[in-house]
Structure 1
Amino acid sequence: MHFPRFLAAAALALVLAPLGAAAQGKAVVTTERVRAELLAHAPEGLQPGKPVWVGLQLAHQPEWHTYWKNSGDSGLPTQLEWKLPRGVVAGDIQWPLPKKIPIGTLANYGYEGTVLLPVPLTITPEFKPSVLAGDVEIKLKANWLVCKKECIPEDGEFMLKLPARSTTALHGGAFDAAFAAAPRPLAAPLGDRVPESHARIDGQALELSVQNLPVQARGKTLQFFPETAEVIETAAPFTQAWKGAVWTARIPLSAQRSASPNPLPVVLADGSQGWRAELKVLGAWPTVAAAATVSPALEAALRGNAAQPQGAPPITLLAALVGALLGGLLLNLMPCVFPVLAIKVVSFTRHADDTHGHRVAGLAYTAGVLVSFVALGALVLALRAAGEQLGWGFQLQSPAVVATLAALFTLIALNLAGVFEFGSLLPSSVATLEAKHPVANSFLTGVLAVAVASPCTAPFMGASLGYAIGLPGPLALAIFAALGLGMALPYLAASWLPAVARALPRPGAWMETFRRLMAFPMFATVAWLVWVVGQQAGIDGAGALLGLLVALSMVVWAFTLRGRSRLALGALALACFGVLAWSTGDAITRQAAAPQAAAGGRWQPWEPGRVDQLLAAGQPVFVDFTAAWCVTCQYNKKTTLSNGAVLGDFESRNFALLRADWTRRDPAITAALSQLGRNGVPVYVIYRQGRRPVVLSEVLGVDEVRAAINQL
């Protein structure tokens, strides 16, 4: 059996492709909570002295919000970092009017629905657009915190090309609406006898007196937004009154005040329109005592911090390298790698008498594994440095990648079962080339082994990979290389030790039987991959993939025929496959809604902050970080985590059981894994109030879990 190199190359491309596009700039970034888009408005073109605007538009899912320049009692304002051509300078965000968002006993300032954060660009005389390019690249890196009951930090990199010599006004309506929503500056008082607007310090309160508000605002109850954070008690009620045309208010100062601005920039609003003023502060700001009274909100936050366990203790570089080597060695025992090993077993047996060829093949396989692990590690490190929240096995979080791997393994299984030989499908020149280059075959078999092994996390691997993410590039890649060396080590040793070659059975008819037997683990892998797609894209996605695999099998069978039927049936099969792929492709690639745990069930879904809430209530917590594409996770779930004695111990010790499902990309789960010093699943953690989290083994045993539970 000559394993075709184009299939293994396709496997490597699958590993590298899904997030390669994510590293490139784009105008739109979509998460489960926010759709962010970079917009531009240059109605008179890019010319010095002419108005040019860019802005980040955030469209929030219902009940989610992001924050104003002063976020209030919690939260963080959206931050924009621009990369612009020479001669183009970005100004500050022209913040639209926010709304007050109560959160329990706290209050925040932010935005719901859709908001555009416009930024003015100044075109200076130094701006010289390229004559050849004609377009100007505007690049943005944005960070925002989006909150509902929980808060999730998100980010995105954007790129927009503006024509240098023509106008851009497609989004003029959105910018006009943002300009209309921006607070307007209050005019200065007219005449020397009219007192200035001011804020007077009176004990632990601010007494405001604001002049020159427009006529339509007079007599209305106004909202008050200080632009400086941590000056007032944001959630506290305050009194206000009108004295003719003058608006007055008395607002409590924050007991934890961290700023004493003078003048004090504020925004007043009547619900639809806002006005900005800088109030002169009269009197001295009160001193904040070192032992000031702690507000209830801060007190709750401090209790939460005290209850938050510290991360797992760090490991050394040497320990990480040894752990990676041992983890790679144990990867060969993981069920996800087993199907590919059949290829190596048959190959070793066929060439048992060729010592030189055996050794060269072992080196080539090792090189394929090492290159693939280092390339995959470099991609993960590069994308994380660019702001992507990624972990080990990230490529299988894409349904398209899982579906393509299912197609690849279907072809391998059909070949092992004897349905076809690659030489019968390929042109004779290609088939001959294939037979003449077994070294390339061995190298690409190593590539395929890594593609299949990447979703698995063996013992010792987790801590090493988590440690690698925080290291400088060369040291991190050394750990990935050690992982690859460990995985290839058994085959490298077998190819160079004559005793191993002599111990192998002689080639014979049994090899053909063994080869066909190995088709069934391959088909089992396909069944698992279809199930994974079902978890990601729903039952319709799994059904569509099954239909495509049947059509692919028909294509392979048709081209094994002879004579005219080969062309006729082959063309028909290809047409069926193409129509099916075109009509069902969206069902496979789209992400279905995440399933929710049944109300009142033993296992509840993990979400940010949930562990802290349970610990604060005095309840210990067990978290299962898992994914549908992780075979080890599923094995542990069906065995140890379903064991009656284990579940009985959880119940008797009043454990809360949370399941963090990482089947789809989830930045919050990625961040939680990073805090634990891990970069992939499975991860099993026991949390207790005031103590370090206990991270258990990747391959769980009943005794290990029960011992950890009963240490409470």
Structure 2
Amino acid sequence: MQKRRYRLPVTVLCHLMVLLGAFMVLLGAASVPARAAPPHAPTHIAAELLAGPVKDGKATLAIRMTPEAGWHGYWLNPGDAGLGMQLSWDVPEGVKTGQPRYPVPQTLVVQGLMNHVYESEYAVLVPVTVPAGKGRIPVHVKAQWLACTEQICVPERAELAAEIAAGAPHDPRFDTWTQRLPAPLDTPAAFALNDKTLRLAIPLPASVPLEAPHLFVGQDKLIDYAAPQAFARKGDMLLVTIPRARFAPQNAAGIDAVLRLDAAGNGIALTARPGPVPSGGTMLAGSEAPKLPALPWLLLAALAGGLLLNVMPCVFPILSLKALSLARAGESEAHARIEGLAYAAGVILACLGLGAALLALRAGGEQVGWAFQLQEPVVVVALFALAVAITANLLGLFEFSVPGFASAGSPQGAFATGLLAAFVATPCTGPFMASAMGAALLLPVVPAMTLFAALGLGIALPFLAVAFVPALRARLPRPGRWMVTFRRVMAVPMGLTALALAWLIWRLGGSASLAYVAALAALVLALLGLVGRAQRSGKRALMPAFATLAVLAVGVLTMPEPRPQAQEEASIIKARPFSPEALAEARASGKPVFVWMTADWCLTCKVNEAAAIEREDTRVAFEKAGVVVLRGDWTRRDPAITRYLTEQGAAGVPLYVWYGRDGRAETLPQVLTPALLEEKAR
């Protein structure tokens, strides 16, 4: 499926407004005696009513629904958004229609909203009881439904007619449609409700395979549809635990549900009554929501993760800024402490800002994770322009003393350096940090924000140590003319950062986007040259400086829509694109599965790929063991990948998960070695 780009949570609001409007239209159509639409009015989901033959006073009607490509219809409980089908029957006296029976639906997540849908042809079967002695029985139904894509919804309707005849020939399509219905479970299940979860005990023989289970609950708004569902086996009992919806009803006399057994759409229909639900059991691989460590351990992990970011490859491009600040710290004790505190304040504030934005977007329904800012081309362009400007500043093209990113040894400069350091460094994840940031996405707001602050403190800790420990400052060289040379040398890694961001722009938006930003960078450099010339001549440079800022702002905000081009990847490892369906199919094959989550902007990912994954020895080991490799590219926002990361307790990439032949999942370290992968493949 083609990846779609979602920008802000306002899209969720628009989606809900469309659905509300569609509901009002349908409600009005049901309550006002308006004229019926033509029987064959064009729709995005074509509907047809078919009748099966009468046998022993019973027959079956089929409402065949055929969606256009890219459109979908809904199950009887549509999930977080949508609307189920509404039927109004007109049948002769003595004829009775029963409850519609739906095939097992699919799950579709759009911007964090879980929907229960059908994206291909399906049939809703309706049992009919007919009186004896009837020959041909005309049947009419007014059907109303909602047809949706991932962007828009359209209310549709049709008046359908069919004729039930005792001697009608058998239509083999009814056999196919019947096979797609969930098989009824003859033994009732038990359920228990508490304030947070719905737990069910479903009598299901242990011999029944479960490859991609999901429970569709018929009662509306009882559960959190998009939350992970935990499945456990206890003998011939299947135990299911699902988080409740925020405003779920307090009690339920009974629950009707459909249990999907596998990705092929096989399932069972069940009814549950209040009763005891045992605990324990053996968790099914991949079904358990991640267990969170205690908060103190998470805080220590966030602190250690931030500390380790200072030596991760992804942080190296901003080391030039920190190195200059460290050098200036030797000027005086008071100045060093003030600058250290200012730098730490900038780092912590940046981490808190990114964390708050991340939590707000997720609360609004967006499927985003750590480093979400680098999935937006506009942000990458802004970072590219900033890297170009800093490189020019380090080379002496112009001076930028307010706020003083590099040239001025001021608290403002240290604060701005801290902001930039955290913004560029935090997209990486490493040991300790992954578990802490993954937990932050699942915790309440206050402890989650505390974790983000601890991460920032960890990043700033080395600088604070130098600022407050005289023995460390004493080991720094004294300020002198060498700093000018050092400053020029440090322009090299910052220039390489700008080149890396330019490459990322090409990956995100194609050649046209790269040409656009290259022209923008050339114009900005020319204006910065005018700023520098005015500064060197002792004149004020306000006009060229403001012109530079205006050109940069207009250039970023008016950037054309990125059009990424299909790129042929030169890969040693033959990997398939990741999707939940591909994962379910791979695990069902009984072969080992290696899930490999990466992104073009993740330097840690690229280092792992060069050092451990994309190697001939790894390819040979994988092919010998029959390993199925699934690669998830998170360079641009992908809700399916984000959901999988969340289910694995990870906030971002890299993420490597190994599924053994027994189906058990194991999360591998974020720093891979060739020996580790070869050992797993044995």
Q: The TM-score by the shorter chain falls in which range?
A: 0.5 to 0.7
Indicate the SS of the match to 1:622.
strand
Shift of 1:594: 6.1
Distance 1:548 1:707 in 2: 49
Superposed, which structure 2 residues align to 1:122-521 within 5 Å?
A: 143-145=114-116, 199=129, 213=139, 241-242=164-165, 256-257=183-184, 300=262, 308-310=285-287, 314-317=291-294, 318-423=296-401, 438-521=410-493
Contact 1:37–1:58 (CA<8 Å) still a contact in 2? no
Partner of 1:603: 575
Q: 2:655 aligns with which of 683, 687, 709?
A: 683
Contact 2:605–2:654 (CA<8 Å) still a contact in 1? yes
Q: Which amino acid aligns with 1:144?
A: N
CA pair 446-700 structure 1, distance change in 2 beyond 3 A: same
Identical columns (%): 32
Q: Which amino acid aligns with 1:395?
A: Q
Partner of 1:663: 635
Shift of 1:570: 5.7
Indicate the SS of the match to 1:458.
coil
CA pair 457-608 structure 1, distance change in 2 beyond 3 A: same
Q: Which amino acid aligns with 1:333?
A: V
Contact 1:391–1:680 (CA<8 Å) still a contact in 2? yes
Contact 1:65–1:146 (CA<8 Å) still a contact in 2? no
Indicate the SS of the match to 1:367.
helix
Partner of 1:531: 503
Distance 2:330 2:571 in 1: 59
Q: 2:559 aligns with which of 568, 585, 598?
A: 585
Indicate the SS of the match to 1:658.
strand
Distance 1:142 1:66 in 2: 15
Partner of 1:23: 9
Distance 1:289 1:372 in 2: 51
Contact 1:551–1:573 (CA<8 Å) still a contact in 2? no
Superposed, which structure 2 residues align to 1:549-698 within 5 Å?
A: 549-562=521-534, 581=555, 585-586=559-560, 589-592=561-564, 602-698=574-670
Q: Under a length normalisation based on structure 1, what TM-score does the superposition of the two structures give?
A: 0.62
Contact 1:36–1:58 (CA<8 Å) still a contact in 2? no
Shift of 1:345: 1.8
1:238-272 deviation line (CA, Å, top 9, x unaligned)? x9842699x99999696733799xxxxxxxxxxxx
Shift of 1:691: 4.0
Distance 1:401 1:26 in 2: 21
Distance 2:410 2:552 in 1: 33
Partner of 1:67: 73
Distance 1:546 1:580 in 2: 15
Q: Under a length normalisation based on structure 2, what TM-score does the superposition of the two structures give?
A: 0.64
Contact 1:605–1:660 (CA<8 Å) still a contact in 2? yes
Shift of 1:96: 8.9
Contact 1:325–1:485 (CA<8 Å) still a contact in 2? yes
CA pair 458-292 structure 1, distance change in 2 beyond 3 A: closer
Shift of 1:338: 2.0
Report how many aligned residue pairs link the two structures. Answer: 523
1:665-689 deviation line (CA, Å, top 9, x unaligned)? 0010011111111110011111124
Distance 2:115 2:453 in 1: 35
Distance 2:673 2:13 in 1: 48
Contact 2:658–2:665 (CA<8 Å) still a contact in 1? yes
Distance 2:307 2:493 in 1: 21
Indicate the SS of the match to 2:184.
coil
1:324-380 deviation line (CA, Å, top 9, x unaligned)? 111111101123322322222212222303101111211221122122212221221
Contact 2:573–2:614 (CA<8 Å) still a contact in 1? no
CA pair 343-77 structure 1, distance change in 2 beyond 3 A: same
Q: Which amino acid aligns with 2:184?
A: R
CA pair 441-304 structure 1, distance change in 2 beyond 3 A: farther
Distance 1:575 1:708 in 2: 53
Indicate the SS of the match to 1:404.
helix
Contact 2:80–2:113 (CA<8 Å) still a contact in 1? yes
Contact 2:387–2:495 (CA<8 Å) still a contact in 1? yes
Distance 1:599 1:420 in 2: 43
- Structure 2 residues not aligned, in runs of 5+: 35-42, 46-65, 89-101, 146-161, 188-201, 211-258, 268-282
CA pair 396-413 structure 1, distance change in 2 beyond 3 A: same
Q: Which amino acid aligns with 1:213?
A: V
CA pair 409-61 structure 1, distance change in 2 beyond 3 A: farther
Contact 1:397–1:664 (CA<8 Å) still a contact in 2? yes
Shift of 1:708: 2.9
2:63 counterpart of 1:77: no
Shift of 1:79: 4.0
Contact 1:626–1:681 (CA<8 Å) still a contact in 2? yes
1:137-175 deviation line (CA, Å, top 9, x unaligned)? xxx9965356669xxxxxxxxxxxxxxxxxxxxxxxxxx
Contact 2:527–2:547 (CA<8 Å) still a contact in 1? yes
Distance 1:555 1:454 in 2: 31
Contact 1:621–1:655 (CA<8 Å) still a contact in 2? yes
Indicate the SS of the match to 1:708.
helix
Distance 2:263 2:505 in 1: 40
- Structure 1 residues not aligned, in runs of 5+: 1-17, 71-75, 82-91, 98-105, 113-139, 150-182, 184-196, 226-238, 261-287
What is the CA RMSD across the aligned residues, in angstroms? Answer: 5.3
